[in-house]
Structure formats: C-alpha cells, structure tokens
Amino acid sequence: MAHPSPRQEGRACRRGVVAAQLLLAAALWACSHNAPPAPQPGTRAANLVVAVENQNVNDVDVFANINGVPQRLGTVTSQQTGNFEVNWDQLGPAGHFSLIVSPIGSDAVYRSGSLPLGPGSTVAVQVAPVLRNSSTQVY
C-alpha cells in the first residue's frame, strides 16, 4: 500500500480547510437572512387581512368560518376589491379558518376549505366570473 507524499497530504489538507471555510460562510449567510419573527398574538400586527378581488358580475357577501361558526365580514361590489380584518384572537387554540363567498341573489357558494394561517397572515381571494373558478391564497 502506497502512502501519500507530503505534497499530496498538504493539498488534501488545504482542500479540507477551503471546504470548511465555504461551509462556514454558507452557514453564516443563511443565518443572516432569517425571516422576521411572526407578530405577537394580541397585537394589531397579528390580525389576519382578508383581501377580496371580486371579478364576478354580482356583488358578493364574504364570511369567515371560524371554528365552524360563520361570521359575516362584509360585501364586495362587483368588479371591486375589499379588505377585511379578522382579530387573530378570534381563532382560538383550534385555529380552524375558511372563507365562504356568496353572490347576492344566487344560491351558489364558493368555499375556500381550511386554510393554514399564522399571526399576521394575508388571505387573498379572487372571486372569478364563474364562481367555481375562484381561488384563495395565503401569504
């Protein structure tokens, strides 16, 4: 079995040092770009914002279904946008939240399904001209 020469050992050592320096630099860079902490519950910054863009020909009523209880947020006129604020503390420990959009004068309903939320989340709802094509996103 051949032993590496001192020159080969030196190169291997330098490569190891360079690799360690690169790993350290990458770790420091990653740590320096952490997301800001989530807003504290109980503060206004923790409240949810529900932004509704109504592209439907009908005005729509918007409801937040919080832990199984629908609560009316308001109305958004046809071809307009509306923003509603929901107090984070209303969600309680279970935190089940979904949206219901109901065009006025229609039996049709759009339901978002359960949404994954955190304090300070924004929920964007796009009410499509054909209601079943509507969408919801959480930011």
The CATH number assigned to the domain holding 77 equals 2.60.40.2890
Give the predicted TM-score (pTM) of the model.
0.71
Give the structural domain span for 8. 1-32
Q: How confident is the model at residue 2 (pLDDT cuts 50, 70, 90)?
A: low
Residue 41 lies in a domain: no
Residue 110 pLDDT > 70:
yes
User: Does residue 11 share a domain with residue 60?
Assistant: no
* Contact status, residue 42 vs residue 85, Cβ threshold 8 Å: no
Number of structural domains (the chain) is: 2
Residue 32 pLDDT > 60:
no
Per-residue three-class SS string for 23-81: HHHHHHHHHCCCCCCCCCCCCHHHCEEEEEEECCCCCEEEEEEECCEEEEEEEECCCCE
Residue 10 lies in a domain: yes
Tell me the mean pLDDT in the region 111-120: 93
User: Does residue 87 share a domain with residue 27?
Assistant: no
User: Does residue 11 share a domain with residue 66?
Assistant: no
Question: Can you give the pLDDT at residue 100?
Answer: 98
Higher pLDDT, 112 or 31: 112
User: Does residue 93 share a domain with residue 133?
Assistant: yes
Residue 62 lies in a domain: yes
Tell me the mean pLDDT in the region 60-88: 96
Q: How confident is the model at residue 4 (pLDDT cuts 50, 70, 90)?
A: low
Lowest mean pLDDT among 2-16, 18-32, 69-83: 2-16
